[in-house]
Amino acid sequence: MLKKLLPPNNKTISEIAAEEHISEATLYNWRSKLR
C-alpha cells in the first residue's frame, strides 16, 4: 500500500484510505516510520 504513495502512482493518503478501508492516521503513521 505504501508503494501507492510513491511515483508513478502518487496517490494521496485520503485516496488510499478510502480504497483500502484503512484509517488515514494509520497510513500517516506507517509513512512516518518508513522515513
* pLDDT number for residue 2: 80
Confidence band, pLDDT 50/70/90 cuts, at residue 5:
confident
CA distances from 20 to 3, 11, 14, 26 (A): 13, 12, 10, 12
Look up cell 500517516; give the residue. 28
d(CA 35, CA 15): 20
> Is residue 17 scored above 90 in pLDDT?
yes
Cell reading at 21: 478501508
| Confidence band of 7 (pLDDT split at 50, 70, 90) | confident
Q: Which sign, positive or negative, has the C-alpha torsion 31, 8, 21, 17?
A: positive
Per-residue pLDDT, averaged over 11-19, amounts to 93
Computed over every residue of the chain, the mean pLDDT equals: 90
- The CA distance from 22 to 6, in Å, is 18
